[in-house]
Amino acid sequence: MSRLDEAFAGAKADGRALLIGYLPAGFPGKGDDVALIETMVENGVDAIEVGLPYSDPLMDGATIQEAVQRALESGTRTDDVLRTVAAVAATGAPTLVMSYWNPLERYGVDSFARDLAAAGGVGVITPDLTPEESGPWVAATDEHGIDRVFLVAPSSSDERIATVVAASSGFVYAASTMGVTGTRTSVGAAAETLVARTKARTSLPVAVGVGVSDADQAAQVAAYADGVIVGSAFVRAVLDASGPEEAVAAVGRLSADLALGVRRT
């Protein structure tokens, strides 16, 4: 059982959902990310997604695009992402990478899976990789013991969901709504239906992302999903801060608030 499996099992035993937080590596500047992510973990975030900055982030909304651009401008590269993963994994929190396919292919599929495992990472979320094109990735992740997380969306047919979950390990990422990432005033009603449809086809945990930004929304999603994923809200907290100390404090407050949300019965 991997650390990710253990984390989901532990949350389930506690009668709650797993809280997963996202920040891009190298944001808001190179070397600034680790302190922020450590604060997330210290304040109740159970698992971490480290974003691999990429110049053409198709799924990302304006908030994350701004953060990724800052990371790229600071010189953040794939080797830096792996160093961030190693630092975060040292906290004991299961640490995944969120990456588009092009950077992984450019780095070398087997090399990335190998180096991620060596850094203590547990998995990779690949929003633009389809199961039909994932043969080399499946082989590499199986070889190096890395979970591969694919996405389903409200538009996914039952047949498509079955294909995605068959290729996935660790958990299945359920996008709560169509479109790009970003905070929203409410989580789409389609998310609950999507989770139910996905759970009918797999025993893997299903985690919901896209749109969760506060404790009430986290509690709403935690009532039916195994995991709650928050990204844009953390990025916005950093972008709105006047400096590094305020950014750490803001991220800590948001983490604690969301942690309480997923623990509501």
Tokens of 187: 């989580």
Written in H, E and C, the secondary structure of 189-220 is CHHHHHHHHHHCCCCCCEEEECCCCCHHHHHH
Contact between 183 and 236 under an 8 Å Cβ cutoff? The reply is: yes
Query: CA gyration radius for the chain?
Result: 17
Task: Choose the catalytic residue: 33, 38, 60, 80.
Answer: 60
Task: Choose the catalytic residue: 32, 33, 49, 80.
Answer: 49
- Whether 216 is catalytic: no
- Count Cβ atoms below 10 Å from residue 48 Cβ, excluding itself: 26
DSSP 8-state secondary structure symbol assigned to residue 99? -
Can you tell me the distance from the alpha carbon of 28 to that of 170, in angstroms, rounded to the nearest whole number? Answer: 29
Amino acid letter, residue 192: E
Reduce the DSSP state of residue 54 to 3 states and report it. coil
N-terminal to C-terminal alpha carbon distance within the chain: 27
Amino acid letter, residue 84: T
- Whether 192 is catalytic: no
For the annotated catalytic residues, the residue numbers are 49, 60
